[in-house]
A and B are shown apart, each in its own frame.
Chain A
Amino acid sequence: MSAVPLGYLDAAGPRAHSILPLTWFTLIVSILVCIVVGVILWIAVRRGTRVASVATVPVNRGSSGTHWLSVGLSITAVPLVVTIVWTMVALAATSGPPARPGLTLDVTGHQWWWEVRYDSNQPSEVFETANEIHIPVGVPVLVRLHGGDVIHSFWVPKLSGKTDTIPGQTNFSWMQARAPGRYWGQCAEYCGAQHAHMALEVVADAPADFDRWKARQLQPAPEPTSASEKRGQGLVEYRCGLCHEVRGTRAGAVSAPDLTHLMSRRTIAAGTLPNTPGTVLAWIQGAQQIKPRCLMPDQALSAPQLADVSAYLETLK
């Protein structure tokens, strides 16, 4: 990951990349304009005098100075016209994917996590995950954006600019990764108390790795083997299953992240914590301390219950 995970002055895919020259052009024009105006202003002001009474400096009509306006506006017109034309060209080039998308995702913004559904014309190939999006390298990915509750904005700076997820309408974004890697994303539209903790990660895999990952995701959760895992599954079905889904079990609710392959993800709680056994338990017991006002209630499980739940969740690879 780069030193500035959300920085957008470098890009990792054609969509973000195609905008960079325009970004740099406008940035450099802007800096030059500030320097030129600053220098003119400095020279002009330095001629100034401090006097006891302003009236001692006589007024004078001086030259009309309107040539400043005509020359100034003529110079201004050049970068502005270039920017307008370039903007139109870049807009046309980046608003849609260049080729038929190789993968279509339905991403829904929720307070405060991302639901991700991999679409396919084969119903058996459709699956859901959350907050971590795997895409194959070199393939244009179409992202259909849906609003789950309030407005959020889908943004993975190294791959693509922002597009809002708005309830009642479907928006489109697309992205494509040049090289394998992990690209950080973040909700960019204020959406309430935990707007700050609504991140996502796009993982670009080599095609073979992506296929392996996808095959794993299509599997239901494995059967628990040990007694502790079995007790854990019961607890997950009974407690977590009120909101979460673990495919292949009786936990089948869909108002919170799908947990079927929880352990395949690098972070939990929409990028809030790294995914380790310790953080998962801390999250289960005290989500409200870690991410106040999030919709996950504190569970107050006993120590043996926690151990069972942990043992079971560890199997969800």
Chain B
Amino acid sequence: MRAPDYRSPTIGIDSVELEARLLDLWETEPGLKGFFSTVDHKKIGIRYIVTAFIFLALGGIEALLMRLQLAGPNLSYFTPEQYDELFSTHGMTMIFLYAMPILSGFSNYFWPLLLGSRDMAFPRLNAFSYWVYLASGLFMYAGFLMGNGPNDGWFNYVPYASRDYNPGLNEDFYSLGMILLGISTTAGAANFIVTAFRTRAPGMSINRLPIMIWGTLTASSANLLVVPAVSLAFFLLWLDRQFGTHFFDPAGNGQPLLWQHLFWIFGHPWVYAIVLPAMGMVSHGLPVFCRRPLVGYSMVALATVATMILGFGVWVHHMFATGLPGLGLSFFSAASIAIVFPSALTIFAWLATIWLGRPVITTAFLFFSSMILLFVIGGVSGYMTASVPVDWQLTDTYFVVAHLHYVLIGINLFPVVGATYFWFPKMTGRMLDEKLGVWNFWTMFIGFNLAFLPMHLTGLWGMPRRVYTYSDGMGWDTLNLITSIGSLILAIGVLLFFINLLKSLKSGTPASENPWDAPTLEWAVPSPPPPYNFAVIPTVASRYPLWDGRLADEHLVSATDRGMLLAEGKETVGTSALDAHPDMILEMPEDSFAPLWLSIGLTVVFVGMLCKMWLIIGPGVAICVFGLLLWLWPRRELREREASHG
């Protein structure tokens, strides 16, 4: 008989000895070994952020090249094929390799800190999802560098993507790369969901979740449901292309529209998945600078979830012109208009928070607050396209290009840059330069609006999307020139941001533990946080633990310097899903090479599939098996312990 496998965690206070012991347990080894084996969520988060910013820069350069070609009529710096690869790669880069991973990066870094935990629920899965993301990015960019980048837009409609019309390897790189990326997204999403429900600090009941968690939690749940659709679609496309199946081939009774359904069933929820976490950042950061709690926390959290649920029922608004029956269209039209409600609610909550608060102007605040206007502009243009008859004119013109850039730059990039100004001190221990920050903000804000506000008119005047050139006499010349100039200014703004990052990393003012006097748990630990995050597991009594006692109506006060020590191994506490009662000691894994091996194995398998060479796929599978064995080999120290009750 096995001895009862539980013990009661010791309750204690923070001490030098405790911190030394925890450091010894949690610190990643220096050098290459540590670099490739670390499972520290903070290191992984920073990797995600740096990689995503590099992809942002690449996508930006692609955009500038396109704007060069479109600056005037009849320009031909690039051939049609080059231009088509540029816009497709730009879309792929920004939507898949920047917008989602950057949010995963921030979430990876900050979730355990926000939740009062020592790591994500599955640290090795976390490392794995980063490596696979990196591999898929390199995989798809390898295609681009070999002149085989995607060339059918990010939405990749068939039959143009089929082998008859697209004989090169372009679409094979893209299809397989997207399936690989889907593995990373799925692993990451599962990890976030379990982390949110199982590894919160005791007392952090679901109604006390930091608001930012709701965004990523909702987005992750959606990703688990929709990523299979797009992975399947790309897999079927690859079969069609390489093995002569007929899923999408009308000559074999396949359905080109099946692609569009599978893609947009994924694609539209994905759009919400890449803005909801960023909206969460704004809801998280604005109150700090408005010196008051967020207005309507519960409503905003519910609006986040409601947006996602409605978001599953709007995908056909990408397909209004495909000849589907009117009755069906009207349902999706109404749903697409109704989805304005939860977004409007969030807007009003932010406006009220600023109006009723005492705003302190910082660069982060400028990005967060200006984003509200950009969101509204992107929102109302989306509302226009939701009306079917109006959309029959708007769709596939530059109006939609303007709309989606207001959504993605307005609701993703601006919050992300704001969040970087907000959290950089926590991540690096140094403040970003505020003076340069103000320049950074205004250059980006003016450049962005100069580029994309007139673009609505370009669209209303009928310029179709995805044309590599246009003739004069269409009325678009001046507007396009303005857009090209604006995009250059926007690019300078982003460059200033990167310069500020590098400069402040070296010589920024040292940051204190809580430079913004913010209320959430990440600000209770040193900047940058130690590898174990919290020396003692905090106990949470309110939504804003570090403001306890100052909002004048709490009876309980959260504790950050006294709590469970959990220093007998690499441990953190598992809590119940809704009320966050502690019910288990989670034994966290040591650093491991298994995620890296599995990622390498998977990459080799995908390279083999690309070449259709079993000689490569075989060893790839062997490496995967090796990685999995290494990962799953039973280890005594990873047995989980139930805490003794009472």
Contact = CB atoms under 8 A, between A and B. Distances in A.
Given A84-B334, A91-B389, A192-B165, A37 B288 contact: no
A161 B392 contact: yes
B292 A61 contact: yes
Given A8-B460, A191-B160, A59 B292 contact: yes
A168 B254 CA distance: 8
Interface stretch (A28-36, A223-231, A253-261): A28-36
B354 A41 contact: yes
Contacts of B396: 153, 155, 162, 188-190
A58 interface: yes
Nearest to A3: B475
A188 to B, nearest CB: 4
B160 A69 contact: no
Contacts of A44: 351, 354-355, 359, 369
A292 B76 CA distance: 11
A293 B81 CA distance: 9
Contact of B466 (A86, A147, A160, A195): A195
A22 B387 contact: yes
A262 B490 CA distance: 48
Size class of the A contact interface (CB-based, 8 Å): 35 or more
Nearest to B257: A166
Contact of B347 (A37, A149, A188): A37
Interface residues of B, number: 99
Contacts of B383: 26, 30, 80, 83
B554 to A, nearest CB: 10
Contacts of A166: 256-257, 322-323
A69 B352 contact: yes
Interface string A3-37: 11111110000001011001100110111011001
Interface stretch (A46-54, A214-222, A299-307): A46-54
A69 B296 contact: yes
Interface in A67-91: 68-69, 72-73, 76-77, 80, 83-84, 86-88, 90-91
Contacts, number: 304
A68 B352 contact: yes
Interface string B375-399: 0110011011001111111011100
A48 B365 contact: yes
B291 A57 contact: yes
Contacts of A150: 157, 159-160, 165
Contacts of A37: 347, 351, 372-373, 376
Given A33-B380, A147-B256, 12 more contacts: A4-B474, A19-B389, A26-B384, A38-B373, A44-B351, A62-B356, A64-B296, A69-B296, A77-B341, A155-B464, A166-B323, A190-B152
The 6 tightest CB contacts between A and B, nearest first, are A6-B462, A161-B392, A168-B250, A171-B323, A30-B380, A48-B359
Interface of B: 79-81, 84, 152-153, 157, 159-160, 164-165, 250, 253-257, 288-289, 291-293, 295-296, 299, 321-323, 326, 329-330, 333-334, 337-338, 340-341, 344-345, 347-349, 351-362, 365, 369, 372-373, 376-377, 380-381, 383-384, 387-393, 395-397, 460-470, 473-476, 514-517, 519, 547, 550-553
17 contacts: A3-B475, A4-B476, A5-B462, A7-B461, A8-B460, A26-B383, A44-B369, A48-B360, A49-B359, A50-B360, A54-B288, A68-B295, A80-B383, A84-B334, A84-B337, A163-B321, A186-B464
